[in-house]
Amino acid sequence: RLASEHKPIQHIIGETSFFDFTVQTDSRALIPRHDSECVVELALDQIPEDQNVFVADLGTGTGVLLLAILKARRKARGVGVEHSAQAIELAEMNRKYVLAKPDRMSVFHGSWSDWTGWEQCDVILSNPPYIRSDVIPTLSPEVKDFEPLDALDGGADGLTAYRDIIGLGAKHMKAGAHLVFEIGYDQKKAVSELLSDAGFKDLKHAQDLGGNDRAISAIKT
């Protein structure tokens, strides 16, 4: 069968829904999935509605996680950090497409190790690449042939990005700030241990629509 027969419907129509809004999506970034909504919900639990908070989304892709936060918390501002120039274009489009006041969100083009805004943030969230490298070839054609590989491949054990972000967060985040991750269904224990070993406290977990472990939050001490 032709690869085009497996093209995701979201790429064909050019958009997808998330919570109560729509974002534009294509092959430049990972397609937003409703399972990720629990990540946003866990982050929102840490953000009072009446506070001026600053939020960062590392590996923002389409920008959907940060956009959901900013729509739900009208006093919040944030930045999407993204190394892919193609994904940056998409995040910029969605920033203007979704937000009534697009200047509440900025986009930083570069890696999270190059980004210097860690200490400003009250909440940092990320849906990093977390699939083991040896699993990538077994994924459905809709995923492995159309989603950006660097948004999927988490290294030999799927934890490379978590180690990187947690290490940087432990060094640079301010005390009391929250770190929120999307995780693979079987990564709760491993990511929890990485956070605890780095000195993060008050770990909380959330499940996705299918009942799988899908999100973790922790506080920088």
State pLDDT tens for residues 161-220: 999 999 999 999 999 999 999 999 999 999 999 999 999 999 999 999 999 999 999 999
Predicted local distance difference test score (pLDDT) of residue 23: 95
In this prediction, residue 4 has a pLDDT band, given cuts at 50, 70 and 90, of: low
Mean pLDDT over 41-51 rounds to 93
pLDDT tops 60 at residue 126: yes
Predicted local distance difference test score (pLDDT) of residue 12: 78
How do residues 57-114 score in pLDDT, each as one tens digit? Answer: 999 999 999 999 999 999 999 999 999 999 999 999 999 999 999 999 999 999 999 9
Predicted local distance difference test score (pLDDT) of residue 198: 98
pLDDT tops 80 at residue 128: yes
Q: What is the pTM of this model?
A: 0.91
Asked if residues 128 and 150 have their Cβ atoms less than 8 Å apart, the reply is no
pLDDT tops 50 at residue 3: no
The side-by-side arrangement of strands in the sheet containing 201-207 is: 105-109, 77-82, 54-58, 123-126, 178-182, 213-219, 201-207
Average pLDDT, the chain: 92
Per DSSP, helices labelled H in the chain are 9-13, 37-44, 64-72, 85-98, 141-144, 160-172, 188-197
Predicted local distance difference test score (pLDDT) of residue 38: 97
Greater model confidence, 9 or 119: 119
Mean pLDDT over 135-155 rounds to 78
